[in-house]
Structure 1
Amino acid sequence: MMDYSYLLVPFVAWFVTGVSKFLINCIRAKRFAFDLIGYGGMPSNHSAIVSSTTCLIGLKEGIEHPAFAVAITLSFIVLLDASSLRMKIAQQSVLLNQLVKHTDFEQIKPLRERIGHTKFEILMGVVFGCLVATAIFYYYF
């Protein structure tokens, strides 16, 4: 029988984190914040997805299994990307939007400035992902 837990856990982590992020954005903005759905914000969906998979592999296969090493490596790449590269893109978006404001290019749509994640947002994504994986693992296995 096929084991769907490796598909289920990251999906549930993505869903739980996404709903949590939406609720946090609504509370912070004091309105329904549908316009804030997307990249950036707290907690990090990408961090939750990769950490849930990594945690599940560690729980099911053990941390000595080669798949766990691959998952850790993938997780580090995603986490570093969320904190460094995407934050640099966000900084560039801010500067480009300021430049466009001072030109005659009114037809240019402003770039999204909220792209990357703070270290705390990433940490909370990892916590969400590991909690989801652990809860599903102990509930179903």
Structure 2
Amino acid sequence: MSQLIHNYPLWASIWAILIAQFLKIPLYYMHYKKWDFELFFSTGRMPSSHSAAVAALTVSLGIQEGWNSPSFAIGFILASIVMFDAAGIRRHAGEHAALLNQIFFGTTTPSGVTPDEKKNVEEEPGMKPLEELLGHKPIEVAGGALLGILVALALA
């Protein structure tokens, strides 16, 4: 148990996630002038907690194990994949979800979808809109990565 308590890379990552999730609330307020405390438990928005976590993990591994260690190499590759995924694939999935929500729950009926097809989906029991905030804009990923680096350095 003592080893777990003193696991620097683990705690750097956990703190980076918590701080990133907390920061989403005041940053949202600054932009929209509205408090939304549910953002603490949400995906998407600035900064990316996924990016913060893997950046903190990678930097803390570099500091602890050495910048030429296999641990750092694994962390670096993992961080690259997670950040690419957050800004790419997950973001596009969110954009697709937004379009599908507009088609099936919005006020417009895009070409190719008949009003009857749209009505059938809207009346389907249990049918609900898809989650749209799945990924991040590149600036949100970069913000999360910077936060993770700073957290790892602060805890070093």
TM-score by length of 2: 0.81
Which residue of 1, 5, 9 maps to 1:6? 9
Counterpart position of 1:116: 135
Deviation at 1:35, TM superposition (A): 4.4
Which residue of 90, 93, 98 maps to 2:94? 90
Rg (Cα) greater in structure: 2
Matched, 1:71 2:79: no
How well do the aligned residues superpose, as a CA RMSD in angstroms? 1.5
- Given that 2:21 and 2:39 are in contact with CA atoms closer than 8 Å, whether structure 1 keeps it comes out as no
Counterpart position of 1:131: 150
> Where has structure 1 moved over 6 Å in runs of 4 or more?
none
TM-score by length of 1: 0.89
Inter-CA distance 80–16: structure 2 relative to 1 (3 Å threshold)? same
Counterpart position of 1:33: 36
Matched, 1:16 2:23: no
For 2:74 and 2:132, the matched residues in 1 are separated by 32
For 1:28 and 1:112, the matched residues in 2 are separated by 21
Q: Percent identity?
A: 33
- Given that 2:46 and 2:140 are in contact with CA atoms closer than 8 Å, whether structure 1 keeps it comes out as yes
Deviation at 1:86, TM superposition (A): 0.5
Aligned length: 137
Deviation at 1:40, TM superposition (A): 0.9
The amino acid that maps onto 2:53 is I
Give ranges in structure 1 of 5+ residues lacking alignment.
none
What SS does structure 1 have at the residue aligned with 2:47? coil
The amino acid that maps onto 1:136 is L
Counterpart position of 2:113: none
For 2:32 and 2:128, the matched residues in 1 are separated by 22
